[in-house]
Amino acid sequence: MKTYKRWLQNANLKVTPARLNILYTLDHANGFLTAEDIYNELKPTIEHLSLSTIYRSLEQLEKVHLIESVSLENKKEAQYELAHSKHAHHLICLTCGKVIHIHDCPIHDFAKAVSSQHHFKVTSHTLDLYGYCEACQT
Amino acid sequence: MKTYKRWLQNANLKVTPARLNILYTLDHANGFLTAEDIYNELKPTIEHLSLSTIYRSLEQLEKVHLIESVSLENKKEAQYELAHSKHAHHLICLTCGKVIHIHDCPIHDFAKAVSSQHHFKVTSHTLDLYGYCEACQT
DNA sequence: GTATCAAATGCAAATGGTTTGCATTTGAGT
DNA sequence: ACTCAAATGCAAACCATTTGCATTTGATAC
């Protein structure tokens, strides 16, 4: 927990059990978690934990860029992951919902071109590829 | 209306006033519309129009690929447009919400590479760039 | 350590986009 | 015109997320 405590302090956020546990949970998850995933994970070990605390914590953590959220097409809930995880794009299986992270990114030059063309200052982007994973192609 | 009627018939959908009007509205909109946008547009001229009809119609129209929907990050409502509009990506202003359509697409080669690398059959993708439009950069 | 105060939390209720159940109407083929 | 599945209106349900408010808890000052 040492590390997470320092993360929070560096971000000028109070160190609370909820936040420490959320960071821990996200850090040890492989892939994305929803607010409810986190809640279910922590509920058994933290008494009187409230879902709204999860939401409010996630909001704070995102605001200081400790975590990031994405919302994938045709999924209504937001998904969260640690922000220091590498910039990633996604392969999303339309059948089973499996999400594969891709760390290649072909966007940089494109963003630069589009920026100057439209006088638009691009600060971030999302790129998600949809289709069928190996197992679901049968 | 002739055209829209034919579209529906070709798609094996019943020709109803709601569907004709939704197609007309989307066809004459510049940019995306939400279900509610469409509802507000049509409500004055169609008596007893119900929002759920809009939703159900949009669902049907999307199923037969007459229209397409996207949901942009940090917007909770789905946005709809005619499907025959060109494949487009988006420049989304984080300040004013303005959406600029881009018809260049740098993804094709990338998708191909990723496909073979992950044995994933890519069928579609989304690419959205976020940042600040010219007017909001001051 | 103790006092202090803003920030964080729990709980319940509200929100808002979307979906659904059900009775009624309507389009399309006969 | 007749028939029946599909489409619709309406109200209620859903569900992820947000909010109001009273209470608790960190962080800082003493």
What nucleotide is nearest A12 when CA is compared to C1'? D27
Q: For the segment B31-41, what is each residue's pLDDT rounded down to a tens digit?
A: 789 999 999 99
Which domains does chain A carry? 1-85 (1.10.10.10), 86-138 (3.30.1490.190)
Residue type, B26: L
d(CA B14, CA B20): 10
CA distances from B77 to A125, B22, B32 (A): 19, 17, 11
Q: Is B107 on the interface with A (CB under 8 A)?
A: yes
In chain B, how long is the greatest CA-to-CA distance?
54
Q: Please give residues of chain B from 34 to 63 whose alpha-adjacent beta carbon (CB) lies under 7 Å from any atom of strand C.
A: 34-36, 51-52, 55-56, 59
Q: CB-based contacts of B26: which residues, under 8 Å, 6+ apart?
A: B33, B38, B67, B80, B81, B82
What nucleotide is nearest B9 when CA is compared to C1'? C28
Q: What confidence tier does B44 reach under pLDDT thresholds 50, 70, 90?
A: very high
pLDDT surpasses 70 at B47 = yes
| Rounded mean pLDDT, B73-100 | 80
Q: Quick one: pLDDT at residue A84?
A: 66
Q: CB-based contacts of A19: which residues, under 8 Å, 6+ apart?
A: A4, A8, A13, A57, A60, A61
Identify the closest residue of chain B to A120 by CA–CA distance: B133
Q: CB-based contacts of B43: which residues, under 8 Å, 6+ apart?
A: B49
d(CA A31, nearest CA chain B) in Å = 17
Q: Quick one: pLDDT at residue A57?
A: 98
- Which of A38-42, A77-81, B131-135 reaches the highest mean pLDDT? A38-42
Say how many CA atoms lie within 13 Å of B99 toward its Cβ.
17
Q: For the segment A63-88, what is each residue's pLDDT rounded down to a tens digit?
A: 999 999 988 877 889 999 998 666 77
Torsion of Cα atoms, B2 then B7 then B11 then B16, to 10°: -50
